């Protein structure tokens, strides 16, 4: 059976250059980067080099990059770190209703410990208004956290405008940039973010490595306490293989982005146009233009997304119903609900996310299979009448 992977927002395969580059870390390069002897000295430059590659990609200084275990840890570190270190200045945090659980559940945790959180609404495209952020700022606001690109819809937030508002007000600004990295250019200076979260496995590096960007001079509490790794900001022996891989993946993504971005946009357009031409009653969720180049979120009327997902899986096509973190949950997506989409329309939503191995033939195959699967499911629905 043909296998087509279209769930790149959930995770990505390892980039071939990354696999070759990191193989020695499974064999001869095993030293602890903190060791002073030859085995430690041998591996330390790989960490330094990875830090430089990543800093280069997001226009940061290498010293502003802190390696963590994943995007979720980076979100936790940023938000709890600001909350606990700024308690004397205030206890108010601003975020949006469409954030990843890594942000939303961290905020919920802090609410139970006396912090106040404002969850800003979004418009029907999933975009928060910069003016709403400005108006929500109070004397006791210590942090604004707004994601760059939404993992479910691909909609982009007006990060530069929000960054300018935060800077003007003297409030720290954190952005979950996990889905944006490698897909669109990021400049932490232009965007005026103080803290940003990234994850290796979304950019063709292995799972288990993340980054927290911490602007120089931004001093926050640590999340993990222990040794003096990462200049005392994140304890624990470095994930050498993961870090080296993350650096190599960023180097490759940085080089490939100029060609890969328009290629993905073209394939996504072909897929969207093809679906709209072949299947009736389909709704595009998220912003039509201000979005990631690789992501489509579509609701298929009279079809349950779980059934659609299974039908496509049987034909070898891997897609997602909403986000990977919430799939398996019977609740409609909090992101789509916040956009004012009716619960039954949310429950018929499918996320299709393309990546560097997606080919023209993959799209043709989906366009062959999908109308048939949707048609079969609709024929079983008592509510569906063919137009
Ligand atoms: N933030 C966003 C927007 C994501 O899409 C994800 C993963 O799906 C995360 C955070 C969490 O990253 P990780 O899987 O590395 O913990």
Tell the residue number behind the tokens 């919920």, with chain if given: 108
Q: How far is the CA of 198 from the centre of ligand 1 (A)?
A: 8
Query: What's the rounded Cα separation, in Å, for the pair 250 and 202?
Result: 11
Give the pLDDT confidence score for residue 329 in this predicted structure: 60
pLDDT at 22: 98
Contact between 280 and 387 (Cβ < 8 Å): yes
Residue 171's pLDDT is 98
Asked if residue 305 has its Cβ within 6 Å of ligand 1, the reply is no
Q: Is the CB of 100 under 6 A from ligand 1?
A: yes
Q: Residue 171 Cα, ligand 1 centroid: separation in angstroms? A: 24
Given this model, what pLDDT does residue 385 score? Answer: 79
Which atom of ligand 1 is least distant from the CA of 200?
15
pLDDT at 156: 98
Q: Is the pTM of this model over 0.85?
A: yes
Say whether 53 is catalytic. no
Buried b (16+ CB within 10 A) or exposed e, 282-304: bebbbbeeebbbbbbbbbbbbbe
In ligand 1, the atom with minimum distance to the C-alpha of 201 is: 15
Query: What was the pLDDT predicted at 387?
Result: 66
Ligand 1 site, residue 70, Cβ cutoff 6 A: yes
CA distance 303 to 283: 12
Distance 211 CA to ligand 1 centre (A): 11
pLDDT on residue 5: 98
pLDDT at position 331 is 83
pLDDT of residue 382: 81
| Residues of the chain where predicted confidence (pLDDT) is lower than 50 | 323-324
Ligand 1 atom showing the smallest separation from residue 150 Cα: 3
Annotated catalytic residue within 53, 70, 250, 325: 325
């Amino acid at each position: 059976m043909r296998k087509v992977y279209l769930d790149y927002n959930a995770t990505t395969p390892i980039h071939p250059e990354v696999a070759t580059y990191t193989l020695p870390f499974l064999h001869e390069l095993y030293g602890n980067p903190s060791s002073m002897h030859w085995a430690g000295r041998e591996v330390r430059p790989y960490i330094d080099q990875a830090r430089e590659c990543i800093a280069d990609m997001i226009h940061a200084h290498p010293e502003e990059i802190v390696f963590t275990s994943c995007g979720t840890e980076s979100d936790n570190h940023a938000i709890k770190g600001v909350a606990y270190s700024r308690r004397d200045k205030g206890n108010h945090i601003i975020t949006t209703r469409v954030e990843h659980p890594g942000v939303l559940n961290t905020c919920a945790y802090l609410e139970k410990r006396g912090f106040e959180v404002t969850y800003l609404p979004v418009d029907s495209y999933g975009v928060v208004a910069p003016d709403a952020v400005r108006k929500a700022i109070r004397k006791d606001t210590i942090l604004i956290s707004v994601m760059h690109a939404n993992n479910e819809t691909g909609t982009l937030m007006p990060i530069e405008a929000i960054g300018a508002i935060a800077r003007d007000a003297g409030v720290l600004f954190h952005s979950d940039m996990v889905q944006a990295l490698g897909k669109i250019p990021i400049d932490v200076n232009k965007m005026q973010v103080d803290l940003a979260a990234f994850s290796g496995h979304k950019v063709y590096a292995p799972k288990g490595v993340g980054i927290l960007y911490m602007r120089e001079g931004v001093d926050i509490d640590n999340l993990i306490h222990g040794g003096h790794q990462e200049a005392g900001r994140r304890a624990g022996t470095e994930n050498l293989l993961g870090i080296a891989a993350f650096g190599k993946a960023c180097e490759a993504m940085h080089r490939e982005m100029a060609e890969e971005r328009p290629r993905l946009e073209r394939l996504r357009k072909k897929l969207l146009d093809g679906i709209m031409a072949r299947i009736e009653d389909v709704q595009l969720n998220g912003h039509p233009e201000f979005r990631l180049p690789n992501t489509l979120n579509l609701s298929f009327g009279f079809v349950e997304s779980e059934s659609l997902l299974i039908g496509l899986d049987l034909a070898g096509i891997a897609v997602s119903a909403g986000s990977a973190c919430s799939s398996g949950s019977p609740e409609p997506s909090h992101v789509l609900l916040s956009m004012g989409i009716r619960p039954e329309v949310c429950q018929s939503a499918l996320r299709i996310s393309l990546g560097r191995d997606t080919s023209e033939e993959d799209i043709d195959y989906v366009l062959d299979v999908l109308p048939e699967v949707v048609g079969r499911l609709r024929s079983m629905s008592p509510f569906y009448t063919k137009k």
